[in-house]
Structure 1
Amino acid sequence: MCEKCSPRTIGRRGLLAGGLALAAAPLLASSAFAQTSPAAPVSPDEALKRLVEGNARYVANKPLNVDHSADRVMRSRGQRPFAAIVACSDSRVVPELVFDQGPGELFIVRVAGNFINEDGLASLEFGAAVLGVKLVVVLGHTSCGAVEATITSIRDKTLPPGHLPSLVNALRPAVYDAMRSNPSDLLAAATAQNAKLNAKLAESTTPILSAQAATGNLKSAAAVYDIGTGKVSFL
């Protein structure tokens, strides 16, 4: 056995080198994950740009994200979504498809009527403070049944059964706001106003979201998805 390879000559220096190599293994794995995933946006504006470009691909039926098995093992090691989407529970609204983003890129909060309640705020706080999302998009959509039900409830001065009144009450402010201008299409106006009100809430709620917004690390945007055309219009 050569003298350099003898166990007696490994000593402290060899053990230190081996320890450093073992310690570096997780970092190398993280580096590999970063290289095989899309680069995380460095600003809220870049995050918005990615969503706009993705929706354009969706409308043109030219998506990039068609292989959802790619990087599955890497995703099991963690997540780093660049944007949060507050979407309606409507089965026709699928944010990952609408914005042509792959698994792990969007942090989705869903509830019928796409409003933000206490649970939604907590989820968005987690997304911003822990996962590092840069943008919150409140995404309304055409022909929203939740908003339409709220309009009917107000006009008929009735409440729906079960737990549905809590949903209607959450959407009332947007409907009342829209009614003041007597729009020709109250459903469309209320849907847009609901997205705007909740987008404002997403970056003004203290302490976490407002602090992120104040430093420029987080922005919010309101948008409406047209189910018929696939296009997302930012308001």
Structure 2
Amino acid sequence: MMQKTTQQSPEPARRRLLKGAAGLSILGIVGMAALGSASITYAAAMTKEARDKLTPDQVIAGLKQGNIRFHTGKPQKHDYLAQKRASQTGQFPSVAILSCIDSRAPAEIVLDTGIGEAFNGRIAGNISNDDILGSLEFACAAAGAKVILVMGHTACGAVRGAIDNVELGHLTGLLNKIKPAIEKTEYNKERTGNNPEFVDAVAKTNVNLTIEEIRKSDILNRLEADGKIKIIGAMYNLAGGKVDFFA
């Protein structure tokens, strides 16, 4: 066999990466770094074999790199139609993301993932409830996701509403679930919804409290204790596009 790998042109290398890494945003990260290029089209969907080979730490590393690509303006070139076709008979996401309903914080975009790579649950204030817990239990215990990511964001309207005691139909009850984060946030300056710094501090506390709620699930707690999943938090910065991971 000829051994001229290091002398081959970038294009064949890119094609090999597409095939070998199953065209995945999370798995393709190492190959991307080696090629020094963001011009790869990711056409395949996550396969069970590829997902099951990942560790939780590798999934987290892939998400971090995906956000770097996003906020530096170098996202991967996804062939979403091809990903749709490849995933229509099954799905094997590696991560379950719980994020806010805010239209400016679309998790799959800011983390540069493709179709079939992430379960994505969205609710104002990224809070947890029985339905959210059931969804996360399905994602991890039944479907095999390796990571639960709770992602809050700066300038969160739900958090500000909780601080300002907004009351509006069913929203009132939802905001009440955020209010414990207000009390538990240590902050010595202006503690009102008019102070963006305080709003962001409460949002971060709220992410941590949501993680505590998720860990009350016996199923998810056991999976994490056994090292099969990791549950982590993060904050997305609306201004700069950067996701700050807590771990």
- TM class, shorter-length: 0.7 to 0.9
Do structure 1's residue 227 and structure 2's residue 238 form an aligned pair? yes
Contact 2:45–2:114 (Cα < 8 Å) also in 1: no
Matches within 5 A, 1:1-235: 35=22, 36-38=44-46, 39-40=50-51, 42-153=54-165, 159-178=166-185, 180-183=186-189, 185-202=197-214, 204-235=215-246
Larger Rg, first or second structure (1 or 2): 1
CA pair 71-181 structure 1, distance change in 2 beyond 3 A: closer
Aligned equivalents of 1:68, 1:125: Cα separation in 2: 27
- 2:107 & 2:82 partners in 1: Cα distance? 19
Q: Letter of the aligned partner of 1:169 in structure 2?
A: N
Shift of residue 218, structure 1, vs aligned partner: 1.0
Q: What residue identity is the alignment partner of 1:197? A: L
Q: What's the RMSD between the two structures over aligned residues? A: 1.8
Structure 2 segments unaligned to the other structure (5+ residues): 1-18, 23-43, 191-196
Q: Secondary structure at the match of 1:70?
A: helix
Alpha-carbon distance change, 100 to 212 in structure 1, aligned in 2, over 3 angstroms: same
Q: How much has 1:97 moved relative to structure 2? A: 0.7
Contact 1:195–1:222, Cα closer than 8 Å, also in 2: yes
- In 2, distance between residues paired with 1:220 and 1:200? 10
* Conserved? CA contact 2:235–2:244, under 8 Å: yes
Task: After superposing the two structures, state which structure 1 stretch, 102-111 or 206-215, moved more.
Answer: 206-215
Shift of 1:161: 2.3
- Name the CA distance, whole Å, in 2 between partners of 1:97 and 1:206: 28
How far did residue 206 of structure 1 move?
A: 3.0
Is the partner of 2:158 in helix, strand or coil?
Answer: helix
**What is the number of residues matched between the two proteins?**
196
* Cα deviation, residue 201, structure 1: 2.7
Supply the AA of the counterpart residue of 1:77: T
Report the Cα offset of residue 200 of structure 1.
Answer: 2.9
**Separation in structure 1 between the aligned mates of residue 209 and residue 77 of structure 2, nearest angstrom:** 31
Question: Which amino acid counterpart does residue 56 of structure 2 have in structure 1?
Answer: P
- The DSSP-based 3-state class of the residue aligned with 1:192 is helix
Alpha-carbon deviation of 1:191? 0.5
Q: Which runs of 5+ in 1 are unaligned?
A: 1-31, 154-158
SS at match of 1:79: coil
Tell me the TM-score normalised to structure 2 length. 0.75
**Larger helix fraction of residues:** 1
**Deviation at 1:44?**
1.0
